[in-house]
Chain A
Amino acid sequence: MGGSIGAAVVRPTVRRINRTAVATLDGLLASRLAGDVVERLAASPLAARAAHGALQGPLVEALAGDLVRYRVADRLLSEGLVEQTAARVLEGEELEHVVQAALESPTVERLIASAIESRLLDQAVVRLLESDDLWLIVDEVASSPAVTTAIAQQSAGFAEQVAGGVRARSRSADAWVEQRARRAFRRRPAPPPGPEAG
Chain B
Amino acid sequence: MSFAADRAQAVVRPAHAAEAPAPPLTYVGIVTRAISFAVDAAVIQFVAIAVAGTFALILSVLSPPDKFDGVLLVVGSAAYGLWLVGYFVVFWSATGQTPGNRLFQIRVCRAVDGTAPSAGAALLRFGGLILAALPLFAGFLPILLDDRRRGAHDMIAGTVVVPAPPVEITSRR
* Chain A residues with a Cβ under 8 A of chain B: 163, 166-167, 170-171, 173-175, 177-178, 181-182, 185, 187, 190-191, 193-198
Mark contacts of B1-31 with chain A using CB atoms, 8 A cut-off: 1 yes-contact digit, 0 otherwise: 0001101110110000000000011111111
| Chain A residue contacts of B32, Cβ below 8 A | 167, 170-171, 173-174
Q: A173 to chain B: which residues have CB within 8 Å?
A: 29, 31-32
Residue of B nearest to A188 (CB): B147
Residue B105 lies at the interface, judged by CB distance under 8 Å to chain A: yes
Instruction: Choose from A167, A174, A182 the contact partner of B105 (Cβ within 8 Å).
Output: A167
Stretch from B83-91, B122-130, B161-169 contacting the other chain: B161-169
Q: Which residues of B contact A175 (CB under 8 A)?
A: 29
- B residues with CB within 8 A of A: 4-5, 7-9, 11-12, 24-32, 35, 103-105, 114, 141, 144-145, 147, 149, 162-166, 169-170
Q: Which residues of A contact B163 (CB under 8 A)?
A: 196-198
Q: A191 contacts B9, CB within 8 Å?
A: no
Complex contact B31–A198 (CB within 8 A): no
Is B35 touching A166 in the complex (CB atoms < 8 A)? yes
| A182 and B145 contact, Cβ closer than 8 Å, known pairs A195-B5, A196-B163 | yes
> Please, which residue of chain B has its CB at the minimum distance from the CB of A185?
B145
Could you say which residues of chain B place their CB within 8 Å of the CB of A163?
Answer: 103-104
> In the complex, which residues of chain B have a beta carbon less than 8 angstroms from the beta carbon of A190?
147
Output the residue of A166, A171, A198 with the most chain B CB within 10 A.
A198
Q: Is the CB of B26 within 8 A of A177?
A: no
User: Nearest-CB distance from A171 to chain B (Å)?
Assistant: 6
Would you call A197 and B12 a contact (CB within 8 A)?
Answer: yes
With contact pairs A167-B32, A178-B30, A197-B165 given, residues A187 and B145 touching in the complex (Cβ less than 8 Å): yes
A168 to chain B, nearest CB (A): 10
Between A and B, 26 residue pairs with Cβ closer than 8 Å are A163-B104, A166-B35, A167-B104, A167-B105, A170-B104, A171-B32, A173-B32, A174-B31, A174-B32, A178-B149, A181-B144, A182-B144, A185-B145, A187-B145, A190-B147, A193-B26, A195-B25, A197-B9, A197-B24, A197-B114, A197-B163, A198-B163, A198-B164, A198-B165, A198-B169, A198-B170
Contact present for B11 and A197 (CB under 8 Å):
yes
Minimum CB distance partner of A171 in chain B: B32
Contact A197 B145 (CB under 8 A): no
- Knowing A167-B105, A190-B147, the reply to whether A197 touches B162 (Cβ < 8 A) is yes
Provide the residues of chain A in CB contact with B11, threshold 8 Å: 197-198
A174 CB contacts on chain B under 8 angstroms: 28-32
Chain B residues with CB under 8 Å of A193's CB are 25-27
Residues of A contacting B147 with CB < 8 Å? 190-191
